[in-house]
Amino acid sequence: MKNIFVQAVIVVGCFLLIWFGFSQVDFMKAFKVKENTENMEKKLGDMIWNQVEETEEVITNDTIIKSLDTLLKPLCDANDIDRDSLKVHIIKKDEINAFALPNNHLVVYTGLIEDCKKQEALQGVLGHEIAHIEKNHVMKKLSKEIGYSVLLSAAGGTKGGEMARELLKTLSSSAYDRKLEKEADITSVKYMLEADIDPRPMADFMYQMAQDSDMSSAMYWIADHPESEERAKYILDYIKGKKIKSKPTMTEKDWKAFQEKVGNE
């Protein structure tokens, strides 16, 4: 009986020693998981953006770029987001779309800028995409749909162009799951409220998309009608009862001039 007790004490003691030893090990550091993931994200983001540059018309007009930045800056300033960390690109394309890529790339199509009736609607979309970046939704989506090991292989492989096209299609033409989309929507609304920007036009924009029957002519930022109506509703529910300070970032004249210049580019 005494021997059994001694053996039990030894077993428990060994277990505690092993547990304590493992608890002192920083496995993330030991296996460089975080470092590898960050390197992978940078390589993937740059690889996909290179693919976009090769196949799309990138807007380089300084006036247009500065105007978009004027709308973006208040969201960043009011929410402690490093504006310089965001790589914002404008693509000449009629599609009503915007999307985030790995490594903080944010792509906006001219079709989206032209279609927004109010500047606050565009700011809401920008905030939504920034939220995807800040909340690490981009890599979560790719890891879930493509697989972490495949992404790791792609970042260090030779079939860059082929994989870049697949990843670009995944990020630009398919929605995140509803949980992530809702988190990005509500986070964008919070960004706007902090920046004294009225979020109601963002909900109006979603409802506008839901009512648009011509879905074949463009790939819309909002993929399907019922979901866009639902999203508009929970945004309005979230802001109900909140004090909204409406302070347009641009004058109406400057906003219209921006849209006109984008359309003529």
Q: pLDDT digit string (tens) for 73-103?
A: 999 999 999 999 999 999 999 999 999 999 9
Q: In the predicted model, is pLDDT for residue 30 greater than 50? A: no
CA distances from 61 to 54, 67, 251 (A): 18, 10, 21
The 10 Å Cβ neighbour count of residue 130 is 25
CA distances from 10 to 3, 19, 163, 232 (A): 11, 14, 54, 62
Mean pLDDT over 50-56 rounds to: 92
Mean pLDDT over 205-211 rounds to: 84
Alpha-carbon distance of 87 to 71, in angstroms, equals 15
Mean pLDDT over 229-254 rounds to: 92
Q: In the predicted model, is pLDDT for residue 260 greater than 90? A: yes
**Which residue reads 């999203």 in tokens?**
231
**Residues 92, 8 within the same domain:** no
**Residues 19, 74 within the same domain:** no
Number of separate domains in the chain: 2
Which residues have a Cβ under 8 Å from the Cβ of 204 and sit 6 or more positions away? 117, 118, 121, 232
What pLDDT does 12 receive?
52
**Residues 26, 150 within the same domain:** no
Within its chain, how far is the Cα of 57 from the centroid?
A: 22
**Residues 8, 85 within the same domain:** no
End-to-end CA distance of the chain: 89
**Residues 13, 56 within the same domain:** no
Q: Which domain holds residue 13?
A: 1-31
Spatial contact of 108 and 89, defined as CB atoms under 8 Å apart: yes
**Residues 191, 204 within the same domain:** yes
Mean pLDDT of all residues in the chain? 85
pLDDT-based confidence at residue 3 (cuts at 50, 70, 90): low
Q: In the predicted model, is pLDDT for residue 34 greater than 90? A: no
What pLDDT does 148 receive?
85
DSSP 240: T
